[in-house]
Structures are given as structure tokens and as C-alpha cells.
Structure 1
Amino acid sequence: MMSNSFAKAPAQVSARVFFVLGDRIERRARLQGAWLNIFDITVPAGSRTPLHRHASPEVFRIIEGRLTIRRATENGIDEFEATTGDIVRIEANQPHAYSNPGHQAAIFSAIVDSDMVEFLEAAGSQEPPKAAPSAETRDRMNAAANAHGITILAA
């Protein structure tokens, strides 16, 4: 009997790649008609996201490097290091953020829903940033966040 729990997907020749606050985001898979989307996200050394929350849950799997993850719990902010192979679950509406404290880029896969995809595509740019995110880049990200139900809690 053949199992249908594994499917080999060919590499996408023209995978959608864009940049949000310096992170390189590449769509790896999307199930049509479902919420499942998988992105590989490359986080440069020193890069971070602001503390934020949104209605959709997320799952991260660290592929390479390390990230400092911050997420709110009943006891306050929990901060921990996630390294290669670790899986991190972010609940719906759970405030969270990540940063790369290392000297090398970190890479993780993120499983997100269609609402997050729409935000990432609206906030993203086609060109990698040449320096720290500009005021224009931050304004675009904040406008996209507001339009897609994402609350930025701290810069």
C-alpha cells in the first residue's frame, strides 16, 4: 500500500521572493483552496521583527542558525533561543517577535495561513534593502499590518 502522507514537490523555477524589514521571504509551497502556506525566511544577522500579534497561528521550524523568540504567556514575556531543528508554535493572537542575535543569517520555515500571506506580500518589496529599513519601508509595513489585522505592540 502506498502512503499519501509524503509528496515530493519539484523546486519552483520562479518561486515568489520578496523582502520584509530586511528578511528574505520565499514561498516554498501553497495548497490551493486551503490555508496552508510554507515560506523559507532568511533573517540577516541583527535583524528582528517588532512584537506583534495577529489572528492566525504560525509554526516555525529552524533550518539553520539561531533565533531569539519572544512570546507572551500567562506569566509575561517568555524569551528563549531556538536553534537548528527546533519547532516553535505561535498561537492565534499570541504576541510574539523574533530576532537574530548571531553573526550569520538564520533560516526558518514558517507555516502560515492565507491572511499572513496577504500581509507579507503587501508589506514586502521586490528588492533587498541596502541598509536598515527606511521610514518609508516601516510605513509600508505598518499600513499593511493595519490593513490585515496585525497589531504592532512594540517597535
Structure 2
Amino acid sequence: MLSSPNGGRPIRAINPLQNEQRALTCRIRIKGQWLSVVDVTLAPKAQTDILESERPRVLRVLEGRIRLSRFKGRNPETRDLAAGAVFSIAAGETYAYTNLETAPAALSGTLDASEAEREMKGTMKKASTSLAA
């Protein structure tokens, strides 16, 4: 599991292709009363659990390439995003990230302040959807 040099807590993520545990590190860069800015690092080839966002969020890929999977119905909608890409997650949307590179991927974004705290603690709401069909 990776640790953040800036004090962020590691969050476990699983790469089902290699059946290895990897890490997603989240650090709150700016803590606001309503919104916070977070930095997220996704380990090489790692994939997060499927999560559900309680509130909307906007993120930007800073380094690397990720695959964003959104789960609407039976088939996930996927988009490959490179550094510079900006994307949003709607409230109530289920999603997962996969790092497509052999180097860590970095993202930064704005989240509701309470949701940023939960993400940093590794207590984000996991969706009832699974990767298995």
C-alpha cells in the first residue's frame, strides 16, 4: 500500500486483473467550509472499488491516463482520460477509476467538504453494483 508524503491516508483499491492490492491516496489540499480541493494519486495499474458520489464533484487529470467507468444499468460507460482532461461526477452516480499507466496517476478536484473528509478517511460510500455481471 502506498503512503502519501503529505500525510494523506491510503485507501485500499483492488486490481482484479492481477489480484493484487494497490492504493489510492487522497489528500485535502484546501479545506473549505462547503467545498474542499483534494489531490488523488492512483497507483500504477490500480482500480478503485465502485463508489457512489453523494454530491457532485469536478476533477481534472493532472498526470497519467485513467479510465473512468460510470455505471448506469447493466453496461458501464467508459472514457479514457489523459492529463488535462476535466470531468464531473453527478450526485448519486456510481463510478470507478482505473490507472492505465505503469506510473502513478494524479487527479485534483473539488468536492463537498464533508465528502472530502470521508474520502480521505477511506469511508466513501461503496455502491451496491459490482464489476461482475
Is the CA contact 2:60–2:109 (under 8 Å) kept in the aligned structure 1?
yes
**What is the count of residue pairs matched by the alignment?**
117
Question: Deviations 1:8-59 (Å, cap 9, x if unpaired)?
Answer: xxxxxxx55221111122221122x32x111111111111112221321111
Q: Which one has a bigger Cα radius of gyration?
A: 1
**Which stretches in structure 2 are left out of the alignment for 5+ residues?**
1-5, 13-22
Residues 125-144 of structure 1: pairs in structure 2 closer than 5 A: 144=123
**RMSD of aligned residue pairs (Cα, Å):** 2.3
CA distance in 2 between partners of 1:65 and 1:43 (Å): 10
Q: Percent identity?
A: 19
Match of 2:8 in 1: 17
Residues 98-137 of structure 1: pairs in structure 2 closer than 5 A: 98-123=97-122
Match of 2:43 in 1: 44
**Cα deviation, residue 152, structure 1:** 4.4
Match of 1:154 in 2: 130
**Which stretches in structure 1 are left out of the alignment for 5+ residues?**
1-14, 124-143
CA distance in 1 between partners of 2:71 and 2:50 (Å): 9
Match of 1:68 in 2: 67
TM-score by length of 2: 0.75
Q: Which amino acid aligns with 2:11?
A: V
**Cα deviation, residue 114, structure 1:** 2.2
Q: Which amino acid aligns with 2:98?
A: S
CA distance in 2 between partners of 1:71 and 1:88 (Å): 12
Which of the pair is proportionally richer in helix? 1
Q: Which amino acid aligns with 1:151?
A: A
Is the CA contact 1:50–1:152 (under 8 Å) kept in the aligned structure 2?
no
CA distance in 2 between partners of 1:54 and 1:109 (Å): 16
> Which secondary structure does the structure 2 equivalent of 1:153 belong to?
coil
